[in-house]
Structure 1
Amino acid sequence: MGELVERVGEQDRVLAVVDRAEAIREGRLHRVATIVRRDSDGRILVHRRPGHASRFPGQLNWMLGGAVGVGESYEAAAARELAEELGVRAAPRLMLKFLCSGVISPYWLGLHEAVVTTPARPDAREVAGHHWVTEPELANLVRREDFVPDAREAYDRHRAAGATPPLHDGVWGWSV
Structure 2
Amino acid sequence: MGELVDRVDEQDQVLGVVDRAEAIRQGWLHRIATIVCRDGDGRFLVHRRPDHASRFPGRYNWMLGGAADAGESYEEAAARELSEELGVSEAPRFVLKFLCAGAISPYWLALHEVVITTPVRPSVQEVAWHDWLTEMELGSLVRRQKFVPDAREAFDRYRNLLRVAGGREA
Q: What displacement does 1:165 show?
A: 4.8
Which structure 2 residues correspond to residues 94-109 of structure 1 after superposition, within 5 A? 94-109=94-109
Q: What displacement does 1:164 show?
A: 8.9
Gaps of 5+ in 1: 168-176
TM-score by length of 1: 0.92
Partner of 1:34: helix, strand, or coil?
A: strand
Task: Report whether the alignment pairs 1:90 with 2:67.
Answer: no
Match for residue 59 of structure 1?
A: 59
Q: What displacement does 1:144 show?
A: 2.4
Partner of 1:142: helix, strand, or coil?
A: helix
Q: What displacement does 1:51 show?
A: 0.2
Runs of 4 or more consecutive aligned structure 1 residues displaced over 6 Å after TM superposition: none
**CA distance in structure 2 between the partners assigned to 1:98 and 1:140 by the alignment:** 23
Report the identity percentage. 71
Match for residue 33 of structure 2?
A: 33
- Which structure features the higher share of helix residues? 2
Q: What displacement does 1:149 show?
A: 0.3
**CA distance in structure 2 between the partners assigned to 1:130 and 1:3 by the alignment:** 27
Partner of 2:153: helix, strand, or coil?
A: helix
Gaps of 5+ in 2: none
One-letter code of the match for 2:57? P
The superposition leaves residues 72-97 of structure 1 with CA deviations (integer Å, 9 ceiling, x where unpaired) of 11011001001000111111111100
Match for residue 13 of structure 1?
A: 13
